[in-house]
A and B are shown apart, each in its own frame.
Chain A
Amino acid sequence: MLAYTIKRFFMMIVTILIISTLTFILMHSIPGSPFNEERTTNETIQANLEKFYKLDEPLPVQYLYYLKSIVTFDFGPSIKKPNETVNELLARGFPISFELGMTTILVAVISGILLGTFAALRHNGFIDYFAMTFAVVGISVPNFVLATLLIQKLAVDYNIFPPATWSSPMHMVLPVLALATGPMAIIARLTRSSMLEVLTQDYIRMAKAKGLSPFRIVARHALRNALMPVVTIMGTMLAGILTGTFVIEKIFAIPGMGKYFVESINNRDYPVIMGTTVFYSTFLVFMLFVVDIVYGLLDPRIKLHKKAGDA
């Protein structure tokens, strides 16, 4: 287990390095510069600015500075907002995106598993059909469409929730719903199908024969095995939700990181592009790493160097 963890950890570092290098290359290969505006500032001023941001150096030298900023995690000031550093922007935006993303995942996982389990237990019953219809709709409707619909219905027409912005728990409801519906539907479908499979296994029949309560059978014996596929897709789903927040943040005017991420590319604000990309990819790669480790903990077949029997 330890060797596996260490190996995965090194792969993580390599992945981040590759991502950052690609970002650097892509960033400098698109035309345009941060100082490219409708109004052109005069050349002396422009030269001063380029010097200040080290944009006058040859690209390989800039790349070294860039690597240094990654290692020290200090990306310097933003070019568009000279009074703020990239780290300040990250510190302001990330907690909000994180809160939104994590709430979404929680809601999606809990409700998805519940929905899937009930659907499996009432196989071909009303709950099953309801849950699966809901799941198909949930998977098919993109979150930004759902978001606009939710605002129109629940905020504008019925005035139950505030339409946008981010200042109270009530403001979280609509964006979380919009973001969570898709993943929740996927989880529900997965849980249902693997649950159906597990429920026909011998050990479940055994448990029933032993006279265990239905709740205990489902919660303790069936669900545990049925959740393996769910954990497997958690990694990609996490990536999906975190990148999905970009659009949702814009629609709901949530002051998270998505805005900086997208705007920095439009503005060619190099330090912010670097900061947000490196930060985001590090975070994502790290989460995938965690999911892998958890997966190893849950599934005995993946345990490489650990005593058997501690399931």
Chain B
Amino acid sequence: MKKWLLLVLTALLVTVLAACTANNDAGEKPAGDSDKGDEKTEEKVLYLNNGNEPTTFDPSVGFDAVSWNALNNLMEGLTRLGEDHLPKEATAETIDVSEDGLTYTFNIREDAKWSNGDSVTANDFLYGWTRMLDPNTASPAAFLGYFIEGAEAFNTGEGTIEDVGMKVVDEKTFEVKLTAPTDAFLNIITNPSFFPVNEKVATENPEWFTEAESFVGNGPFQLAKWEHDVKMVFEKNAEYWDAETVKLDKVEWAMVNDSNTEYQMYQANELDVSDVPAELSEQLMDSDEVSVQDQAGTYFYRFNTTMEPFTNAKIRKAFALAVNQEQIVEFVTKNGEKPAHGFVSYGFQGPDGKDFRDAVGNLVEFNAEEAKKLLEEGMAEEGYETLPTVTLTYATSDTHQNIAVALQAQFKEALGIDVELANVESSVFSSEQKELKYQLSRSSFLHDYADPVNAIESFITGSSMNRTGWSNAEFDKLIADAKAETDPAVRWKHLMDAEKLLMEEAPIFPIHFYNQVALQKPGLSGIVRHPVGYLELKWADKSAE
């Protein structure tokens, strides 16, 4: 008995010790590629972290950053966002728009090829888009296609595919009809949900997107290796029509979802790019290796307008004016964000070339006196002697908590009100927020496409993004008019009026606009992060250090 045990233990010990010493240089794999250096000194490999395993590379289904940041570099739609964040012709060589702005004709490049050598055809787009809109696919991105004639009816099961305004004119010509002129259309179709799908490949193997061996793309890179939950390797796609622009030979993606570990790997040269861990943002923000880019989206708070005391607009406005956004950004988040004094973030140019945000100006700004006055008026209107208790709820996280605590102090200072704080696990939070169970709660909005209407229309009556109980006929009408309007200048005016009304009625108050902060090793260039859109590596380059 004892001998047997001893023998097993010894054997195992030997194995472990052997395992520990077997491979001494395994630990020394810096981002530079010293081991491969002998054969080909020029090979450029970019080491990135995707945080997690992509949910799926099925263009019709993914629709989250963890899938799309990678997929955006493996495939390409008719248009692609350029370095200036504007949509440019991509798989489509030329785009003809009819005079009424309703019909788009895409002429696909002769040399647009799939990574297996097949030619990219109009039919591949029809197939991919149809699949996305098909109610059976249950694509979370399908609403983006509702600009296309008949698409909404088809997606909700009320119409048929025959009535959807998509047509294959010939092998390389694809035609799309819209319900109304949509300035953002060419931007919307840069979204990976509008990528083509190689019908031949997809019919042979419906799960073509799950493994590297079966994956067929048409983007700057191709999927060479996909070890699930471990890593992905992208290689330059020689079949890509613009292959000569692509400078990297390979991109290796780790899947590390601990921000401290990610940063430590960056320090150990195992990653070229890293997020900034929240605790270190203050000391790292000034580093030369930090890159800060805008991201279209807003961090804000919702009032529940069906719950006292926020049924009263003046009391809501009083709370909104008691908030000092500059202070929060400067002393609490310390992550280089821009303070928000309206709901629509920077970066949307109107027909007059002016930025939407700048044109509308600051709609809510810290003003303690005004806040105090409005609070008194509001309380008198409602007949309150003392204000009903206010509880501010946020999803459990350090960042949210820090901001919540700052708000608590600001309400106390400006209004003399003690607000109670409550934190809730994030899934519970989002479900209870939708059920209007909180008085005052944290929220965020990130753009799906680059147009202010995407943000503002969240607050029309009955929208699933509303979650405030707020309903205003004038606001609803402004949004409806803007959507039907053919004159861009008038449309822009409607949107601006809508935002002003929203901020005046204050069912929400903004804190800051989002940004994208990353650490990047010196020698990297050309990694593009769009305010709306996904990571772009087509122009990325890495010079030898």
User: Which residues from chain A sit less than 8 Å from chain B, CB to CB?
Assistant: 30-33, 36-42, 44-45, 48-49, 80-84, 92-93, 103, 106-107, 110, 148, 151-152, 155-156, 159-173, 220, 224, 250-253, 255, 259, 266-268, 297
CB–CB A81/B55 < 8 A: yes
CB–CB B427/A267 < 8 A: yes
Q: Which of B136, B209, B431 contacts A36 (CB 8 A)?
A: B431
- Once A161-B27, A162-B26, A168-B23 are accepted as A-B contacts, the answer to whether A103 and B16 lie under 8 Å apart by CB is yes
CB–CB A169/B256 < 8 A: no
CB–CB A83/B207 < 8 A: yes
B162 CB, nearest partner CB in chain A, Å: 19
CB–CB B256/A165 < 8 A: yes
A110 CB, nearest partner CB in chain B, Å: 6
B222 CB, nearest partner CB in chain A, Å: 20
A155 to B1, CA, bound (A): 42
Residue of A nearest to B6 (CB): A219
CB–CB A45/B27 < 8 A: no
Chain B, 218-249, contact with A by CB distance < 8 Å: what is the 0/1 string?
00000000001111000000000000000000
A252 CB, nearest partner CB in chain B, Å: 7
A53 to B78, CA, bound (A): 35
A75 to B244, CA, bound (A): 47
- Which residues from chain A contact B229 at a C-beta distance below 8 Å? 92-93, 255, 259
- Once A42-B156, A165-B254, A165-B256 are accepted as A-B contacts, the answer to whether A156 and B267 lie under 8 Å apart by CB is yes
Given contacts A80-B55, A170-B27, A259-B257, 9 further A-B contacts (CB under 8 A): A36-B430, A148-B260, A155-B27, A159-B28, A161-B27, A163-B264, A163-B268, A169-B22, A172-B19
- Which residues from chain A contact B258 at a C-beta distance below 8 Å? 164, 250-251, 253
CB–CB A42/B155 < 8 A: yes
| Residue from the set B27, B254, B425 with the largest chain A CB neighbour count within 10 Å | B27
A250 to B52, CA, bound (A): 11
CB–CB A164/B256 < 8 A: yes
A76 to B22, CA, bound (A): 39
A32 to B426, CA, bound (A): 9
- Once A42-B155, A255-B229, A297-B1 are accepted as A-B contacts, the answer to whether A82 and B20 lie under 8 Å apart by CB is no
Q: Which of B22-60 contact A (CB under 8 A)?
A: 22-24, 26-29, 53, 55-56, 58
- Once A49-B138, A172-B19 are accepted as A-B contacts, the answer to whether A253 and B255 lie under 8 Å apart by CB is yes
- Which residues from chain B contact A148 at a C-beta distance below 8 Å? 260
- Once A32-B428, A81-B56, A162-B270 are accepted as A-B contacts, the answer to whether A253 and B256 lie under 8 Å apart by CB is yes
User: Which residues from chain B sit less than 8 Å from chain A, CB to CB?
Assistant: 1-2, 9, 12-13, 16, 19-20, 22-24, 26-29, 53, 55-56, 58, 61, 63, 135-136, 138, 140, 142-143, 155-157, 207, 209-210, 228-231, 254-258, 260-261, 264-265, 267-268, 270, 425-428, 430-432, 434, 448, 464-465
CB–CB A38/B430 < 8 A: yes
- Once A92-B228, A253-B261 are accepted as A-B contacts, the answer to whether A169 and B19 lie under 8 Å apart by CB is yes
A84 to B270, CA, bound (A): 29
Residue of A nearest to B49 (CB): A253
A303 to B254, CA, bound (A): 52
Residue of A nearest to B445 (CB): A38
- Which residues from chain B contact A160 at a C-beta distance below 8 Å? 27
CB–CB A110/B13 < 8 A: yes
- Which residues from chain B contact A224 at a C-beta distance below 8 Å? 2
* 30 sampled A-B residue pairs with Cβ under 8 A: A31-B428, A32-B430, A33-B431, A36-B427, A36-B434, A39-B63, A39-B464, A44-B157, A45-B142, A48-B135, A81-B55, A82-B61, A106-B9, A110-B9, A155-B268, A159-B28, A161-B27, A163-B261, A163-B268, A165-B230, A165-B254, A168-B23, A170-B27, A171-B27, A172-B20, A253-B254, A253-B255, A253-B256, A253-B257, A266-B427
A205 to B482, CA, bound (A): 97
CB–CB A164/B23 < 8 A: no
Residue of B nearest to A164 (CB): B261
Top 9 A-B pairs, shortest CB-CB distance: A32-B427, A168-B26, A40-B464, A255-B229, A170-B26, A253-B256, A169-B19, A32-B431, A45-B138
CB–CB A107/B431 < 8 A: no
CB–CB A151/B155 < 8 A: no
CB–CB A106/B26 < 8 A: no
- Which residues from chain A contact B155 at a C-beta distance below 8 Å? 42
B76 CB, nearest partner CB in chain A, Å: 23
- Which residues from chain B contact A33 at a C-beta distance below 8 Å? 431
A165 to B257, CA, bound (A): 11
Residue of A nearest to B463 (CB): A40
A83 to B207, CA, bound (A): 8
- Which residues from chain B contact A31 at a C-beta distance below 8 Å? 427-428, 431-432
Residue of A nearest to B136 (CB): A48
Residue of A nearest to B464 (CB): A40
Residue of A nearest to B228 (CB): A92
A203 CB, nearest partner CB in chain B, Å: 16
CB–CB A41/B256 < 8 A: no
- Once A252-B261, A255-B229 are accepted as A-B contacts, the answer to whether A169 and B138 lie under 8 Å apart by CB is no
- Once A171-B26, A253-B261 are accepted as A-B contacts, the answer to whether A268 and B427 lie under 8 Å apart by CB is yes
Q: Which of A107, A170, A250, A297 contacts B23 (CB 8 A)?
A: A170
B12 CB, nearest partner CB in chain A, Å: 5
Q: Which of B26, B61, B260, B432 contacts A169 (CB 8 A)?
A: B26
Q: Which of B16, B20, B261, B428 contacts A151 (CB 8 A)?
A: B261
- Which residues from chain A contact B63 at a C-beta distance below 8 Å? 39
| Residue from the set B9, B16, B257, B448 with the largest chain A CB neighbour count within 10 Å | B16
- Which residues from chain B contact A84 at a C-beta distance below 8 Å? 210
- Once A82-B61, A83-B207, A253-B255 are accepted as A-B contacts, the answer to whether A169 and B261 lie under 8 Å apart by CB is no
A250 to B229, CA, bound (A): 12
A167 CB, nearest partner CB in chain B, Å: 7
A221 CB, nearest partner CB in chain B, Å: 11
Residue of A nearest to B140 (CB): A41
B454 CB, nearest partner CB in chain A, Å: 12
A156 CB, nearest partner CB in chain B, Å: 5
CB–CB B140/A37 < 8 A: yes
- Which residues from chain A contact B12 at a C-beta distance below 8 Å? 106
B17 CB, nearest partner CB in chain A, Å: 10
CB–CB A44/B264 < 8 A: no
A162 to B30, CA, bound (A): 9
A40 to B156, CA, bound (A): 14
- Which residues from chain A contact B2 at a C-beta distance below 8 Å? 220, 224
- Which residues from chain A contact B26 at a C-beta distance below 8 Å? 162, 167-171
